[in-house]
Amino acid sequence: MYVVNTESIPGMRIVQIKGLVQGNTVRSKHFGRDFAAGLKNIVGGELKGYTELLTEARRQAVERMLAQAQQLGANAVLNVRFTTSAVTTGAAEMYAYGTAAVVEPATA
């Protein structure tokens, strides 16, 4: 499965557009991460617990988006984008979306 954040893939031509595909997950921070982040805010630096949380959320959202693309018979997802939003206090959604397509090598 090709996954790109561009509208096309060099050397490939779009044969068919299957439509919008999306994947999301809602994650909440837990006390351990929140407490550690509070301490880190005092001294500064990367909030590794939150970095890990976002990395995991992004991975799961992409997996769900790709599963939807496969169900549609696509072999590529073009113009992939990510967005986040607060759902409630302490919880946020990671949303991945793009255009499912069938691509094939371009002939000269």
Predicted TM-score (pTM) of this structure: 0.83
Closest CA to 66 of 80, 53, 56: 80
Rounded distance, CA 68 to CA 7, Å?
19
Rounded distance, CA 78 to CA 101, Å?
7
Average pLDDT over residues 4-13: 97
Query: Domains in the chain, please, with CATH?
Result: 2-27+60-105 (3.30.110.70)
Contact 24, 61 (CB under 8 A): yes
Tell me the average pLDDT of the chain: 87
Which ranges of 1-108 does DSSP label H, i.e. alpha helix?
Answer: 31-43, 48-71
pLDDT in tens, 34-84: 555 455 455 667 777 778 888 899 999 999 999 999 999 999 999 999 999
